[in-house]
Amino acid sequence: MILLTEGKTNWKYILIVLILAVIVGGGVLWWIKKEEVAPIEFPEIKKPEKVVEDETANWKVYKDEVYGFEIKYPKDWTIEEAKIEEAKEIVKRYLSFSPMGKTYILGGMGNRQPISILVSKGGIEAYRSIYPKKEGAETIIVNNYSTIREERDFGEIFYIIQNPEDDTVVTFENWIQVIEDLIKPSEKKELENIFDQMLSTFRFLEEVKKSEIISLDNTWNKYINYRLGFSMKIPKTMPGLNRCGDPGGTEIDFSVPIKAFDDNENNAVYISQEYYYDAEWDSEQEKEIGPCEKITYSLGSLRADLEPNSAYAVAPKPFLGWAIFVKNINSDTELNKFVKEVFCSKCNDCYVVSKKPWTRNQDYYEVLIEGGGMEDSNCPLNYAYKVIYAPEKHKAMAVSFGQECSFYNKECTPTGQGCPLPPDYKCYDEEMINSFKFK
C-alpha cells in the first residue's frame, strides 16, 4: 500500500486503513461480548435451622364433645371433675388438672389444684353474674380467639373465652400464684410453662354431626350418636301401654314408636316409647281421679323419671326404657367414679370389682360392680345392668335394664291363670345391648 506519493501524504489510503481498523475492532469486541462466559454462581450455604420439638406431642387429649372443645394435658397428670352444686343453670363443668399424686392444701380454701377449667352456658353476660368483671381486665388473642385476661381475688389469673358460634364460655384458671408458697421456684416455673402449653393447645371443635337413625329392616333401626361416639340397634316399635282403668276412647291394643332422646348436658341418651296412656291416681283413695290421657315423653319428663324421688326410680332408668350414660375415661379411678355417679351418687358401696373381656367384642371390657341387695348394702344393685369399658377409646358406657324386659314384640295375654307370653314373644334387650359399639 502506498502512503506517500511524490513527497505527498496519500490521505485516501490512510482513510481506508482507519475505516478497516474500526470495522475489525468492532467485530472483535462484538465477538468477545457474545462469547463472554457467565460467572459461576455457588449455592448459598445456610446454617441448618434448629428443629423445634413439640413438647405436647405425647400428651393426653381431653375432648368435651358436649360443650365442643378440646385441650391437651401432660400424660402423667390427672383430671378431677367436681360436682356442680351451685348456679347449675350456668355452670356446667369444673375440671381440675394436677400432677399425679400431688395435693396442694390451702388452709380454709381446702385442696386447690394449679390449673382448672370452668365451662358455663349463657355467654359472657351469664358468666359475669357469677364472676363480676375485675378492674384491669384486658382483651387479648389466644389461638385466634378473643380472650379476656384478668386477675382475680387471690392472685389467680383467668382466661375467659366464649365460643364464637354459641354461648359456651370456657375459662382457664391459673392458680399457680396462689399455691406458690407450697412449691419450689423451679416447680412454679415448670407449672407456668405447662399452663402456657395447655392454653396453646386449646381449640373449639367444629360443629358435631347430630344423631342419626338409619332403617335396617322392618324391625330394627340403627341409632348413631356422633357426639358421644357410639351406635346400637333399637327396635322401631313395640306394644303400647295403657294404664287407665277406664281407657275411654283411647288406644288399647296398639304399637308405639321407639325414640332416642339426646341429653347432651348429662352425656346420656334415653331410649323409650314415644308415649303411653295414664290417669291421675289418688294413693289415699286408691283410685283414679282424672281422665285417661295420652302422656307424650319429652327430654324433661325422661330426666324427671331418673330423679331419686320418682315413683319409678328403682333403677337409674326411665319408666318405659333405658338411660345410656357415656363418659370419657382415662384411668381406673375415673371408671370407679363414673360407676358411682350412674348407679348411686350418694353411696359408698358402688365400685368396680373386676373387668373381663366382653364376649361380644374382645377390645372392650365388661365391668362388674360390687353391690348388694336392698338391705345389706347402700348400693342396691337388685336389677340387671351393663357397664362396657373400651380402654383404647378412653370411653365407658353404663345402662340399667331394670328387673324386667324393657323392649319386646308382643304383650302377654291376661287370663285367670296369670298373663302367659305368646309363643312368638321376643325380648329385644339382649340384641340391642349386644349391638352396642363405640365409634
Q: Which has more confidence, 30 or 100?
A: 100
Q: Which has more confidence, 249 or 187?
A: 187
pLDDT for residue 7 is more than 80: no
pLDDT for residue 432 is more than 50: yes
Last residue of a domain, one of 175, 204, 233: 204
Residues 144 and 218 in one domain: no
Instruction: State the pLDDT confidence band at 3, using cuts at 50, 70 and 90.
Output: very low
- With respect to residue 11, please indicate whether it lies within any of the assigned structural domains: no
DSSP tag of 105: B
Residues 250 and 373 in one domain: yes
pLDDT value for 301:
86
User: Comparing 51-55, 143-147, 364-368, which segment has the lowest mean pLDDT?
Assistant: 51-55
pLDDT for residue 352 is more than 60: yes
Residues 193 and 260 in one domain: no
Average pLDDT for residues 288-317, to the nearest whole number?
A: 72
Residues 140 and 242 in one domain: no
pLDDT value for 9:
53
pLDDT value for 126:
94
pLDDT value for 309:
38
**Mean pLDDT for the chain overall:** 83
- With respect to residue 28, please indicate whether it lies within any of the assigned structural domains: no
CATH assignment at residue 176: 2.60.120
Residues 96 and 140 in one domain: yes
Q: Is 44 helix (H, G, I), strand (E, B) or coil?
A: coil
Provide the whole-model pTM: 0.65
Residues 148 and 264 in one domain: no
Residues 347 and 235 in one domain: yes
The DSSP H or E segment spanning 14 is helix 11-34
Grid coordinates representing 69 are 372443645
Instruction: State the pLDDT confidence band at 210, using cuts at 50, 70 and 90.
Output: confident
- With respect to residue 2, please indicate whether it lies within any of the assigned structural domains: no
Strand-pairing partners, residue 389, are 365, 396
Long-range Cβ contact pairs of 398-401 (< 8 A, separation 24 or more): 398/324, 398/325, 398/338, 398/339, 398/342, 398/343, 399/317, 399/322, 399/323, 399/324, 399/325, 399/433, 400/315, 400/316, 400/317, 400/322, 400/323, 400/343, 401/315, 401/317, 401/322, 401/429, 401/433
Average pLDDT for residues 228-237, to the nearest whole number?
A: 95
How many residues in the chain? 439
Average pLDDT for residues 268-287, to the nearest whole number?
A: 88
Instruction: State the pLDDT confidence band at 362, using cuts at 50, 70 and 90.
Output: confident
Amino acid at 169: V
Average pLDDT for residues 82-104, to the nearest whole number?
A: 86
Percent of the chain with pLDDT over 90: 44
pLDDT value for 209:
78
Q: Which has more confidence, 263 or 85?
A: 263
The string of pLDDT tens digits covering residues 306-348 is 755 333 344 567 778 999 999 888 788 889 888 888 877 666 6
DSSP tag of 202: -
Neighbours of 88 (CB within 10 A): 9
- With respect to residue 21, please indicate whether it lies within any of the assigned structural domains: no
The string of pLDDT tens digits covering residues 394-425 is 899 999 888 889 999 998 877 767 788 888 99
Q: Which has more confidence, 380 or 360?
A: 360
pLDDT for residue 59 is more than 70: yes
Residues 259 and 176 in one domain: no
- With respect to residue 289, please indicate whether it lies within any of the assigned structural domains: yes
Long-range Cβ contact pairs of 38-47 (< 8 A, separation 24 or more): none
Last residue of a domain, one of 141, 170, 204: 204
- With respect to residue 39, please indicate whether it lies within any of the assigned structural domains: no
Residues 90 and 190 in one domain: yes
Instruction: State the pLDDT confidence band at 206, using cuts at 50, 70 and 90.
Output: confident
pLDDT for residue 80 is more than 60: yes
Range of the domain at 167: 60-204
Residues 158 and 288 in one domain: no
pLDDT value for 83:
78
Average pLDDT for residues 288-294, to the nearest whole number?
A: 88
Count how many domains the chain has.
2
pLDDT value for 162:
96
Grid coordinates representing 214 are 338409619
- With respect to residue 427, please indicate whether it lies within any of the assigned structural domains: yes
Q: Which has more confidence, 99 or 4?
A: 99
Q: Which has more confidence, 371 or 34?
A: 371
Residues 254 and 385 in one domain: yes
Residues 70 and 101 in one domain: yes
- With respect to residue 33, please indicate whether it lies within any of the assigned structural domains: no
Last residue of a domain, one of 174, 204, 234: 204
